[in-house]
Structure 1
Amino acid sequence: MPITSATGRSAGSAPVPADATAEPIMLELVDENGRTIGTAEKVSAHLAPGRLHRAFSVFLLDDAGRLLLQQRALGKYHSPGVWSNTCCGHPYPGEPPFVAAARRTGEELGLAPSLMREAGTVRYNHPDPASGLVEQEYNHLFVGTVRAEPSPDPEEIAETAFVTPGELAGLLEKHPFSAWFTTVLDAARPAIRELTGDAAGW
């Protein structure tokens, strides 16, 4: 099945993942209603059984209605080498999720959405069998459009691809995806369909 890939740079594996030994990053802990209740260091928040924290997921599509996917770099401490949606991450404590989503899209992919808007929230609990880490997240969803070609940061992203729904189905059968991908995609589908007029079949 042909997939139109954006230009990506390979990211090699490292004995010690760089993002696991860098200056500690703090996440915003929340209750079941998304209200802030404190902070926790990023890695510790993902240790089983996990601590519920704020996150975001971005879905950007091109003018043809193809979804931009990323393959996570092999040096990532969490879910290395798997495919996932355009961009995922965590706001800094006190940072609005929309601002964080736009910031990380630029940092990871080297581009700015031509349009991006809120698409609701989803709460989930997804253990990652490969790493033993747990995603306990209150996730803010964003959908939008992109007209620029990605220029990925190789420490974050190994490869990118624009895919149709049919091509995505083929990838899901053949390649590993992040534990949260299906959950966030299903939650974002109504907004994606509204954005595209469902012309692409999402």
Structure 2
Amino acid sequence: MPITPANGASAETAAPSAPSGSADPIMLELVDEDGTTIGTAEKLSAHLAPGRLHRAFSVFLFDDRGRLLLQRRALGKYHSPGVWSNTCCGHPYPGEPPFVAAARRTGEELGVAPVLLREAGTVRYNHPDPASGLVEQEYNHLFAGLVRATPRPDPEEIGEIAFVTPDELEKLRDEGPFSAWFMTVLDAARPAVRELTGTAAGW
């Protein structure tokens, strides 16, 4: 299974990593059960138990062989450090369309732009993180796409990457921890993933 260490290269296509006034707290959109925006909250406060329902996104990128690009979250991250997860995930800025946020953050973290990126549904979940005590109460917009450029991960965000087949994913899940939300978002995105990769890929 090819695993690539993060190399510290900056993103080619990244938009600014924060709104103007980057020293200001990062704000998230709070939403109701239908995904309608009802306000904002500071990022960390929204994740403190019991958590506040907020908008998020998750990206699943595949290569031309139908392998999923995973990332292992950097050890310095305050939430779920050192665990494997999907290609990219995060939160739109208030008022930022989820698709735009997903493309922006993929560039910032991985230094690549997908050659294709499309909506793959939404999922709502409540996942506590046992290690940190933080809670993911999220209304998550899912995206699936293709990547052909070589990723250049930001080491502050990503410790390792790996392109995996379904069988290799199962082996990796037996060997090390994954994010609490990983299987929830993957299962919700599977119909779009199978349409994208073809049933022969096994997803």
Task: Indicate whether the TM-score tops 0.5.
Answer: yes
Q: 1:73 to 1:23 in 2, by over 3 A?
A: farther
Count residues with an aligned counterpart.
189
2:174 equivalent to 1:173: yes
How far the C-alpha of 1:9 sits from its partner, in A, is 3.5
User: Percent identity of the aligned residues?
Assistant: 82
1:26-37 equivalence runs, <5 A: 26-37=27-38
Q: 1:171 to 1:64 in 2, by over 3 A?
A: same
CA contact under 8 A between 2:50 and 2:135: conserved in structure 1? Answer: yes
* Runs of 4+ deviating beyond 3 Å: none
Mark the runs of 5 or more structure 2 residues left unpaired by the alignment.
9-22
How far the C-alpha of 1:57 sits from its partner, in A, is 0.1
Q: 1:142 to 1:37 in 2, by over 3 A?
A: same
**Partner of 2:92 in structure 1?**
91
2:184 is matched by which residue type in structure 1? T
1:66 is matched by which residue type in structure 2? R
Local SS of the residue matching 2:199: coil
Q: Distance in 2 between matches of 1:55 and 1:101?
A: 9
Mark the runs of 5 or more structure 1 residues left unpaired by the alignment.
11-21
Deviations 1:130-176 (A, max 9, x none): 00000000000000000011100000000100000000000111100
Q: Distance in 2 between matches of 1:46 and 1:97?
A: 19
2:155 equivalent to 1:157: no
**Partner of 1:124 in structure 2?**
125
Structure 1 length-normalised TM: 0.92
Local SS of the residue matching 2:201: coil
Structure 2 length-normalised TM: 0.91
**Partner of 2:102 in structure 1?**
101
Q: Distance in 2 between matches of 1:193 and 1:148?
A: 22
Q: Distance in 1 between matches of 2:113 and 2:159?
A: 19
Local SS of the residue matching 2:172: helix
Q: Distance in 2 between matches of 1:8 and 1:84?
A: 15
Local SS of the residue matching 1:199: helix
CA contact under 8 A between 1:4 and 1:162: conserved in structure 2? Answer: yes
